[in-house]
Every structure is written in structure tokens, then in C-alpha cells.
Chain A
Amino acid sequence: MRSLLRSLLPFVIGVPVLLVVQEVMPPRYFLWVVAIGVNVVLAVSLNVVNGFTGQFSLGHAGFMAVGAYTAAKVSLVLGGVKIAMLPEAVSDQLAFALALAAGMGTAALAGFLVGMPSLRLRGDYLAIVTLGFGEIIRSVIENMTSLGEALGLQGLPKRTNVVWLGVSALATIVMARRLAVSTQGRALFAIREDEVAAEAMGVDTTGYKVRAFIISAAYAGLAGGLVAHAIQMVTPQMFTFIRSIEVVVIVVLGGLGSVTGSVISAVVLGVAIEKAREFEQFRMVVYALLLVVLMLLRPQGILGTRELWDLRFFRRVPRPRPLAVTPGGASPTEVRDEGGRGGQA
């Protein structure tokens, strides 16, 4: 009961706020809100794999593409269909919900298909294989006539709005936080800290990794569907390797394993980029510099594996420290490689 309440409370508070924001927000901020909302969904979902589980995936844009194309296709097919006995607005929203759900479903399926073989690999090999799968997905889409080849699909209905974005972001965040405190989440953390030890303790490492991958892919698909219905088109060029790296930058900046960190850095980078529109050409250079400098100076990111409310600043009563080796657990970038031999990742 309590956990149900915990899951529902953010929506109970959030949805009315979002409805108000929807009404008062000037339309010129719309694309900005889309960018931030979608980045929150992408970053938090990627954090489930890269942060919670410690597996480095570089193929998030591929799953996003699967979700976006599925949702777009469903929307185009359902375009003229009106559900009987319902007002048109409600029918449209239902169709959109169906499209997003379909996108999540196929993205999850893609996550399963990619995850099954690749999650046997570790560290940098996994990174490069997920990157490869992302590129293969894009390449296949680019060669499918029914998906418009390089031109993509155009003329989608504009369904994404502030409420949909906000609810999706909230759903992703709630999912990630509920996951983190669940048995499944504990297993993922165990895999991150030491895969061999986790396996020795009876954690079904492959199973948990694949499940984390599927969850993450599904939400990437959701982000894809939202983007598609915000700019009313999908093209293969929206889902390149560079898009995956952008999400990785957000996650690494916020702290691998920290949901609030991902949210903060998605918002901060979103605002910073909007403010620096005229410096568009410097955007990726800044991202790249940020990555290098961050790794040299603060490899755990802004928050490390902690959440915002774990910071001392937000604590009123001192709580006893958890009995962990390192406070809050070591993030994947913090674990030192003893002896520099690099035997295993």
C-alpha cells in the first residue's frame, strides 16, 4: 500500500501542476521543454544500464529510433480512426498513448534481442557492440522503403505536449527510483560493484542485466515516440551515434547511478544550450571537453551514485551511515583498477 502510494504521489501532485504549466507557458518555449523532457527520459533510462548496472551501453539512440519509428507508424495508421462514443480529443489522446506504448514495446523487444547476445561481453567490448547495434538499427531503417528510407516519415500529428512530456519524465524517474530500492535494483548494484562476486552470491547476472537492458530500451523508445510527435517527423539522422553520446554525457555529468543527478544535468545542459543558441557549432566541442575534464577532475560526476536528498545539505537529522565500504557505494568510474593490469573490467 505504502509503495503504491509512493509510486502514485508524484503523479497526483505532478499532473495538476503540468496542466497549469501547459496553460500558462508561452509556445516559444515548447521545443526547449521537449528537448529537456526527452533528455530526462533518455538520461534516466540510460542510467539504469550504465549507472545502476555498471554496463556501458553506447546504443541508446538505436532503441530511441525503434520506438520513434514504431510510434510514428502506429500514429500514421491510426490517423483517421476515431474511437466511437468518445470525443475527438480523447480519442486522439488514446491513439497517442497506444502509439507510445507500441513504441515502448518494440524498443523493449529490440533491447531484448540486442541484450541477449551482447551482455555476455564486458566493459569496452559491450560498449562497442551496443554502438554497433545502434548503427545497424539505423542502417536497417535507412534501407526500409516502408519507413521512408533516408527521408524518414513526415506529417505526423502533433500530440506531444507539456503534460505528456512531464508525465513521461515522472514515470521514468519513479520507475528508476522504485527500481533502485527493489530486489531487482539491489541485484543490479551488486553486479555493478563486482560481477564475479555477485554471481558467486547467486545473483543471476545475465538475467538481471538483460532485464535492465529491456527496461532501459523501453523508456528510450518512449523518448523516441515523444520526439517524433513533437517535431512531427522522424528521420534516421535523428538517431546517430552522436545522439547516444549526448545522452552518455548527460548521465556521466550527473553521476553514473544517480537519478537526480541525471535530471539535474539534463535540465542544466538543456538550459545552457538554449541560452547559447548562437554558439550551436560549439555544442559538441563543449560536450567533448566536458567529458574529458570531468573524467580528469571528478570522474564520479556531480552527484556520484548519491541522490540529491543524500547530500548533507538536505539532511536535517544526521542519519547513521550505511555499512558500505565506500559511502553510498562506488560508482563504476570510481572503482580503481588495482595494479593497472586491467585483467577484468
Chain B
Amino acid sequence: MTELLQHLFNGLSLGTIYALVALGYTMVYGVLKLINFAHGDVYMVGAFAGYYLGSVLGTDRAPNLGKAALVTIGAMAICGALGFVIERFAYRPLRHRARLTALITAIGVSFLLEFGFQLNPILRAPIEFPPGPSPRFFPALVDLGAPFDLLGATVSRIDVVGFAVAILLMLGLQWIVYRTRFGVAMRAVSFDSQVAGLMGIPVNRIISGTFVLGSALAAAAGIINASARPRIEPLLGLMSGLKAFVAAVLGGIGSVPGAMVGGLTLGFVEEFVAGYTSSRYRDAIAFTVLIVVLLVRPDGLFGKGRVEKV
């Protein structure tokens, strides 16, 4: 029972990360019908942005809540800008080309970030950039003290804070998507970008906004994840990104609540299967889930069926 509960908490911690990253995939897929392969790497950049901001602000010497908030918001801003730049210079010129072109470009951008970050540092002061291939350790942003016991299972305090932040961000996103003018415009573009344009919606600006929003969420996920599991490296986003994509597909790609549910479900499945069988199959689990979902219910849990037109 305790073991089950422990896996449940671990799954929840992992699932929130997947959910936050999956939101970016699902929103971009919604408006552009593009798998933004680089999104997992934006998540990695978020973790590194937090690492650099943290070391500049000196959180490792004196961690406090104010600095933690500053680091998180700073990293979200940096990744938002990165998302904007990627969309503007890599994807926008290809918008009306074949979708394969955009997919190949997305893979290119993804590898550019992954391997660009693995180069040996060119810039030495004030920060070592790019970070190089060896892993680095993320500084503790807040000092929360030892993990506590809940019904016999050990729960780390940072996981609780991370979960709370993630829930707040998701509620915020839900509010933006369903209650603001931007959200209405975004859903309109997602429904039919051509007609949305005819109705006076600035499609390009909405798409840029979607990338900024998704990338900022990925940065937050990067920081929450790095606070709980402090080992960060440039290839961090490769597997997590793909798994988050699986989460988005599982929830029904294009659906915001779907991404959240999908992320949590995938986190639980992965933790339970890895916990009760062999953790060495961890990476294969997500892909097995993906294949099963695509074969059994390709629209995901919350997706609407699409009719193919000629």
C-alpha cells in the first residue's frame, strides 16, 4: 500500500512536468498542425536559463522565495523569447509549404539547440555558455527542508510546491484560452486560420503568442523538474520532449484539458510500470502507450474526430 502510494506521488510529480510541456505541444499543434519537435529543447533551455539566472543571483548561497520567483519568471521570459524567435525565423517562412518541410525544420531546430548547447563554452564570464556536454547541477532555489511523510510515503516538499505552481499555471492558461480575447482568437485560428484571418484576427500575432505562451510553460516545467531532479544536461529535452508529445497525443492533440490529463496519466503509467517491472523499460513505455493510443483511439481521450476531406 505504501509502495503504491509512493509510486502515485512520484507519478504525480513526473506527470505534472509532462503535462506542462504537453500543453506547449498541443497548443502549437492546435494552431499550426505542426509537431514542434524543438519544444522539448525549449524545456531544456528553460532549465539552463534557471541555472544561469540562479548562479547570477546567487540563489545557491542564500535561497529565498523572492529569488526563486524571479528566476522562474526570468526563465519563462527567456524561453518565451526563444519560442518567438524559433517561430518567426524557422517556421513562419515555411507556413504554406508542405507539412513535411516544417517537420524537418522542427527536427533541425531541435538538434541545433541540443548540440549547440553541447559545444564547449565560448563565453566564460559571467556565465559559461554554451554549457557543454557534461551534466550540471541545478541550484536549490528555495530552502524547504527535509521531505515529509504522508500516509507512509515520502513526499519531497519541492514536489508539492512544483505541483502547486503547475496547477496555478494551468488554471492561468485555462483562463487565457477560454476567457480572454487572445484565447478566443487562438481558438478561432486553431479552428480555421484562413477564415480567422478574414474575420480580422491577426493570425501571425496569435501564432507568435501561442509559441510564447507554450515556451514559457515549458520553461516553468524545466525549472520545476530541475528543482526536484537537479541533474541537467543538454540532451535532457530529447526524451522528455518526446514523452510530453506522447502525453499530448494521449489526451487528444489540440485539447488543453487533454494535455493535462494525458500528462498526468503518462506520468502514472510510467512510474507504475517502471516501479513494478523494470525501470530499464522506462523509455519504451511512453512509446508503447503512443502506439496503442494511435491504433485504438487516434484522437486521444479528449480529441474530436477529424473527417478527412479531399
Distance A269 CA – B310 CA, assembled complex (angstroms): 39
Interface size, A (range): 35 or more
| 1/0 contact string of A251-277 vs chain B (CB within 8 Å) | 010000000000000000000000000
The prevalent SS among residues of B at the interface is helix
Distance A125 CA – B35 CA, assembled complex (angstroms): 9
Q: Which residue of A lies closest to B295 (CB)?
A: A117
Say yes or no for A214: interface residue by CB 8 A criterion. no
Report the interface size for chain B: residues with CB under 8 A from the other chain. 54
| 1/0 contact string of B277-290 vs chain A (CB within 8 Å) | 01011011011101
Contacts of A307 in B (CB 8 A): none
Say yes or no for A287: interface residue by CB 8 A criterion. yes
A332-B100, A333-B104 are contacts. A339–B194 as well, Cβ < 8 Å? yes
Shortest beta-carbon distance, A55 to chain B, in Å?
Answer: 10
Say yes or no for A248: interface residue by CB 8 A criterion. yes
The prevalent SS among residues of A at the interface is helix
Contact among A139, A285, A291 for B107, CB-based, below 8 A: A291
Shortest beta-carbon distance, B93 to chain A, in Å?
Answer: 6
How many A-B pairs fall under 8 Å by CB?
150
Distance A337 CA – B33 CA, assembled complex (angstroms): 12
Distance A288 CA – B295 CA, assembled complex (angstroms): 31
Contacts of B193 in A (CB 8 A): 340-341
Distance A295 CA – B109 CA, assembled complex (angstroms): 11
| 1/0 contact string of B286-310 vs chain A (CB within 8 Å) | 1110110011001000000000111
Say yes or no for A121: interface residue by CB 8 A criterion. yes
Say yes or no for B238: interface residue by CB 8 A criterion. yes
Residues of B in contact with A (beta carbons under 8 Å apart):
32-35, 90, 93-105, 107-112, 114-116, 118-120, 192-194, 238, 242, 245-246, 249, 278, 280-281, 283-284, 286-288, 290-291, 294-295, 298, 308-310
Residues of A in contact with B (beta carbons under 8 Å apart):
54, 56, 117-118, 120-121, 123-125, 127-129, 131-133, 135-136, 139-140, 142-143, 196, 241-242, 245, 248, 252, 281-282, 284-285, 287-292, 295-296, 299, 332-337, 339-345
**15 pairs, A vs B, C-beta closer than 8 Å:** A120-B295, A121-B298, A129-B291, A133-B291, A139-B283, A142-B280, A252-B104, A292-B108, A292-B112, A295-B94, A296-B90, A333-B104, A336-B97, A343-B308, A345-B99
